Structure 1
């Protein structure tokens, strides 16, 4: 237990340091992206939406707006795919490169999110949570996570939940580092490249897949 608490402390320090670096380094990108969003579509630069975080605490998640105004009404569990006509032209690029997620470093600095953790879902999803799925709320939601680097939009909602619960139960700094490393690959190569290439096998007791060398080679 003490080991886990220490690792969570290190995780928080890491979150703050990396988020500050990203905030400063990507400041020119923030400006450019903001101008492009305003120039290519009507609506605000940022998309804010309430999401449940650690222990169901509600907070507003920040993202660059990638969809047309009024397009945020979605069917529960249905992801926005590449050819979704609700996504703006610049929004497709932002989603593909994950740049739309960068403003969430503000959520991380505020302690509402972490760099790595279960993705924050819509509040309406809480109605379907059972005791097992609710475990994903025992850690702060993340900008990236185990499900996001294991197929993400190509996974079923049930499997995404399984990855999230596994992460919460098996959390370690080492697992976080592996997820961050894989996230770099997802940004560079695309989510579809990692379909059926999971870091853990959730169908066989959560056994970790020894794919570190393979991932490094791909990058």
Structure 2
């Protein structure tokens, strides 16, 4: 698509490295898979994260989030603000590894920090967007709240709820709420 080509070209012009970033995430029933994203960070971002752990803004330390993450490229900030970096995950949906709506799949390093009750989120297919994303995105700094939102979604799932979340996702993206 022209959008893919435009983003790919801009990434190449913005910083050295590959166009796509793939990372092992944990999906349905705890099975690992590679999630695809447009690259928004510098090449050695995973190594730099270890140095930045002390500045983690998540309260319980399960997830790693920083509002002004120095690893994010100039273009990466724009792509993330509008969630354009997530577009390649449509291939994960086509491959049956993800759904449009569901709990976000997390990296292996985060899942390794889970408490027993956190694994409930792996009972359904992970999604590109979900209740967490439309309820605050990165502004939610308590992983227990993320789990409560995931469980609420699972207990109340319906096609209508998925459609509501998809529509709210568009609104949240356009309003740039919690995007970083």
* TM-score (structure 1 length as normaliser): 0.72
Whether the aligned pair in 2 keeps the contact of 1:152 and 1:160 (CA below 8 Å) is no
Cα deviation, 1:110-140, whole Å, max 9, x if unaligned, reads: 0000000000111123333344321110111
For the residue of structure 1 that corresponds to 2:33, the secondary structure is: strand
Q: Is 1:77–2:63 an aligned residue pair?
A: yes
Q: Please report how far the alpha carbon of residue 160 of structure 1 lies from its aligned counterpart in structure 2 after TM superposition.
A: 1.0
Residue 53 of structure 1 aligns with which residue? Answer: 27
Q: 1:30 to 1:80 in 2, by over 3 A?
A: farther
For the residue of structure 1 that corresponds to 2:75, the secondary structure is: helix
Q: Is 1:148–2:141 an aligned residue pair?
A: no
Residue 161 of structure 2 aligns with which residue? Answer: 175
Runs (5+) with no aligned partner, structure 1? 1-26, 194-219
Runs (5+) with no aligned partner, structure 2? 54-61
Whether the aligned pair in 2 keeps the contact of 1:132 and 1:165 (CA below 8 Å) is no
CA–CA separation in structure 2 for the residues paired with 1:112 and 1:145: 15
For the residue of structure 2 that corresponds to 1:29, the secondary structure is: helix
Q: 1:65 to 1:192 in 2, by over 3 A?
A: closer
Q: 1:61 to 1:80 in 2, by over 3 A?
A: farther
CA–CA separation in structure 2 for the residues paired with 1:80 and 1:45: 23
- Moved beyond 2 Å, runs of 4+: 72-76, 124-132
**Higher Rg of the two aligned structures:** 1
Aligned residues: 166
Q: Relative contact order, CA 8 A, sep 6+: which one is greater?
A: 2
Cα deviation, 1:26-65, whole Å, max 9, x if unaligned, reads: x101001101101110110000000110001110000000
CA–CA separation in structure 2 for the residues paired with 1:64 and 1:101: 7
Matches for 1:26-45 after TM superposition, within 5 Å? 27-45=1-19
For the residue of structure 1 that corresponds to 2:45, the secondary structure is: coil
1:108 to 93, 96, 104: 93
